[in-house]
Amino acid sequence: MKPSLALTLLFFSLLLQSCTAGKETETVYTPSTTFHLASPRCTVDSVLFLNSATLSMELDYPGVAIFYTEDGSAVTQDSRRYSGPVHIDASKTISARAFHPDFLPSETVALPLKKMSTAARNAQVGVRPEAHSSYPGKGPQSLIDGRKGSANFRNGNFWMGYQADTVEVSLAFDREQVIESITLSVLEDNGAWIFLPRCVEVFANGKLAGREEWPAPVAVGPAAMKFLEIPVKRTTTNNLQVKAINWKHIPDWHPGKGTPPWFFIDELLIN
């Protein structure tokens, strides 16, 4: 390299260093509006109730406002604002969401609540086949005792678990009842090999009165307690048979593919 060219490059190098040496590093802060709030915590004295239930919501952060709907519709800041415990006296799905001017809104949390009738209170309940010995619940009568299990199916002794093609529940009432729908309280936890049934059939007086189907899942989702409602042709009867028809095998995308899935139930409601 020629001396004159080398000196020129050295000069520009020193000049560049002198221009940048005194420049301070700036700290870049992420705007708070890029962060989502946590979802509000909803607590209720009983998900299943005979007369009424009391629902509370909270998210402990200054300036947070919680809005909710009672029909499962989307929650916006035009929805009802939570200001204190909510009295529930009918079956509803409560959807709640938290808002704050400095943050993005939270994800919506949904909580289904069911009002029970007294139709099944004195019914005699039979289940075929028997529940698996690892998950017996408290026997067939526990399906009408109004006591719910949790998403942690190993906590308590509420869930009745089955690995069977069909689970049939029979109810004999002490007097004739008017039936319009049946609701099964079940657990879906595909990660633990627990699936919803393929379909449920309801028979009144020996005749098919209602049937509902559910699609096979295509991926593992979060564990969730669900109410499966089966509308039936309005009828008066003193006996019912409810058949949960399960999937033959766990689907191919699942690690347990080819093996029978589990079916978990803890309550059967007459509407």
Q: Is the pLDDT of residue 236 over 90?
A: yes
Note the pLDDT of residue 31: 57
Across 228-240, average pLDDT? 94
Note the pLDDT of residue 32: 56
pLDDT tens, position by position, 3-40 = 444 434 344 454 445 444 444 555 554 555 678 899 99
Which distant-in-sequence residues (6+ apart) come within 8 Å of 219 by Cβ? 190, 253
The dihedrals phi and psi of 243, each to the nearest 5 degrees, come to: -115, 120
pLDDT band per the 50, 70, 90 thresholds, residue 150: confident
Q: Which part of the chain has CATH 2.60.40.10?
A: 38-115
Q: Which part of the chain has CATH 2.60.120.1190?
A: 124-270
pLDDT tens, position by position, 29-87 = 455 567 889 999 999 998 999 899 999 999 999 999 999 999 989 999 999 999 999 99
CATH 1.20.120.140 fits 124-270, yes or no: no
* Cα angle for residues 21, 24, 27 (degrees, 5° grid): 145
Across 128-157, average pLDDT? 90
Paired tokens of 200? 């449920």
Q: Is the pLDDT of residue 247 over 70?
A: yes
> Residue 209 burial (CB < 10 Å; 0-12/13-18/19+)?
buried
CATH (residue range 38-115) = 2.60.40.10
CB 53 within 8 A of CB 45: yes
pLDDT tens, position by position, 98-142 = 999 999 999 999 999 999 888 887 899 999 999 999 999 999 999
